[in-house]
Amino acid sequence: MLDEAEAVHMKLLDFNQTRRAMTLIDVLIVIATLALLVTVVLFGGLLRPRRSSRIGCVNNLKQVGLAFRMWGNDHGDKFPWQVAAKDGGTLEFSNTVQVWRHFDIASNEMNSPRILTCPYDAQRSKTNVWPIGNQNISYFIGVDADETRPNSILSGDRNLSTNNSVLSGVVTFRTAAKARWTTAIHKNLGIIALADGSAQEVSGRSLFQCITNAGLPLRLSIP
């Protein structure tokens, strides 16, 4: 009987040790799983807003392109900066810093001015009302855009540079070699809308080809 009791006792000890070992393994697995989840959530949280902001800009610029094409349908298939003020356009302002006028003239087609501000452009502020100012605009105007040339650049993110500082005013690119995106807004990336109504994310490497395809010299009016 004593031997049987000792045997039972030993089995109980083995069971308890096994249970403790399994419990420790379970705890370690839970800790590792939680650590992985926290890493995924934090890392994903850092990337998601930036990516979503770019998607938002693509959508914004598609709406801008559609609005200008709708405006053009009522004005001889021309964009506002190709039409004289007496005929309802903004031609007289195409070589000035008053970029807002080109967007403001198409307010009926754009509905809300909120689409003109990138959520990651810290230097610009959204507004819900017209008229607007340059301080509400994150996008440049391609002064040479033409509906008959689908690859011509209609609009895009304003964080363009030739010397690491964001350009402003009416800028002429005579060569695409020096064109760069700055780290502002989309971190060395940008969104460009073409005269055919499309909008796409353009890397620094692709920017050269995009400008070249548009045709040089290229004039941009940057707010």
Helix (H, G, I), strand (E, B) or coil at 9: helix
Q: What is the pLDDT of residue 49?
A: 46
Q: What is the pLDDT of residue 41?
A: 46
Q: How far apart are the first and last CA of the chain?
A: 96
Q: Which residue has the tokens 């964080």?
A: 159
Q: Which residue has the tokens 């006028």?
A: 101
And the tokens for 51? 């990516």
29-53 burial, b for 16+ CB within 10 Å, e for fewer? eeeeeeeeeeeeeeeeeeeeeeeeb
Q: Is residue 154 domain-resident?
A: yes
Q: What is the pLDDT of residue 203?
A: 93
Q: What is the pLDDT of residue 131?
A: 94
Q: What is the pLDDT of residue 47?
A: 42
Q: What is the pTM of this model?
A: 0.76
Residue numbers of the domain that contains 183: 57-222
Q: Biggest alpha carbon distance in the chain?
A: 114
Q: Is residue 30 domain-resident?
A: no
Q: Is residue 173 domain-resident?
A: yes
Q: Is residue 43 domain-resident?
A: no
CA of residue 73 relative to chain centroid, distance = 28
Q: Which residue ranges in the chain fall short of pLDDT 50?
A: 2, 8, 12-13, 15, 40-50
Q: Is residue 122 domain-resident?
A: yes
Q: Is residue 89 domain-resident?
A: yes
Q: What is the pLDDT of residue 163?
A: 83
Asked if 77 and 69 count as a contact pair (C-beta separation under 8 A), the reply is no
Q: Is residue 20 domain-resident?
A: no
Number of domains the chain is built from = 1
Residue 135 is which amino acid?
Q
Q: Is residue 11 domain-resident?
A: no
Alpha-helix runs per DSSP H in 74-124: 100-104, 107-110
Q: What is the pLDDT of residues 72-84, one digit of tens each?
A: 999 999 999 999 9
Q: What is the pLDDT of residue 7?
A: 55
d(CA 22, CA 28): 10
Q: What is the 3-state secondary structure (H, E, C) of 13-68?
A: HHHHHHHHHHHHHHHHHHHHHHHHHHHHHHHHHHHHHHHHHHHHHHHHHHHHHHHH
Q: What is the pLDDT of residue 178?
A: 87
Q: Look at strands 199-203 and 218-222 and give their pairing.
A: unpaired
